[in-house]
Chain A
Amino acid sequence: MRLTCPNCGERDRREFYYYGDAIALRRPAPDAVPEAWDDYLHNRKNPAGDTTDLWFHEAGCGAWLVVDRNTVTHAVHGATLAEKAKR
């Protein structure tokens, strides 16, 4: 599996650290209801198909990326810098 880092170009998966669902970028408001915080912290969909998750280019440029990929076909559709991703 290879990911295309917007800074470094196409790189092997071993250079990256996997964080999980990009829901981590959508932090609820401090006064949000407990259910919203429960979803944010614990509940994940585990989809068979398209997914959007966070990867850290740990052994590369050190940027956090939002990666769109498919868990069934293993296709990687693209990656953007987390700092530029829509929140």
Chain B
Amino acid sequence: MPRTEAMIKQGLTLVDAINEALYQEMERDTRVVCLGEDVGLNGGVFRVTEGLQKVFGPERVIDTPLSESGIMGTSIGLAMAGMRPVPEIQFEGFLGPAFDQLVNHAARYRNRSRGSITVPMTVRVPWGGGIHAPELHSDSPEAIYAHTPGLKVVIPSTPYDAKGLLLSAIRDPDPVVFFEPKRVYRSHREQIPEEAYTIPIGEAKVVAEGTDVTIVSWGACVHTCNEALDHLPEDVSAELIDLRTISPLDAEAIVRSVEKTGRCVVVHEAPKTAGFGAEIATIVQERSFLHLKAPVQRVAGFDVMMPYYKLEGQYLPDAKRVEEAVMQCLAY
């Protein structure tokens, strides 16, 4: 939607940035439609699609019934016919009922039809914990989708990246799961260009440069890591990489950094076992073994269900745990 006074003065939140991207892309390309539960009249549970139905009408910003499998499957059909659907699934836990459509169908059409039928769809999903919501509303299932060839998995951590990556995702010829870290939705404001711009999917960003240790993270945890950087001793020079996309993974950026620093700490919210951090640790040892000065450390959620909100802080990696892991790595 057009920018408000507050946005002009104070910058855009992640929600504003995503809304702006949707608005601009819907204006540019009439094949783009948004659909999901309450995305129209009510503007979505997190108000990400606020105002869009007024501008583009109910035929392009479509309120659906509670029907995740139907929403996902219908969107795939739309995409197969040449449209650019952007379904919203209210919370990452509700991908469950749509899992078959996403993993068994959306991901596979290009391959199954050998390139003749494709699914240019962007599934927007509020993701991750830290907003005092219960399980199914706070999970981080990104590794499951990164483990699915044919899907791309994008997780922006800032308003600037969210806008550029969402525009790339909608224009991408393949299905993209676009995870939006709920914890960051309104926690940060940032001045970002008003005109449309794209950020390539699959390129990590070096948030802070350093020489002693590489911290790799994505989503809301990038901000946790940033906080940890402030607490590290003066003489520790840490490099922080925000992956932004976990599939395709910018392995080169990780390898380049680790070969410089010799140490690597991966930070994510999802449970540790078989989390995406395991993939990164493996790539580092496969490709940079002789550069390593210490074992790769993982700071992650525990192997439990996301707890109810009173224990949320115990579960989510915080700056202190990141700091400890970095210091352990340096002391090895």
Do A and B make up one complex? Answer: no
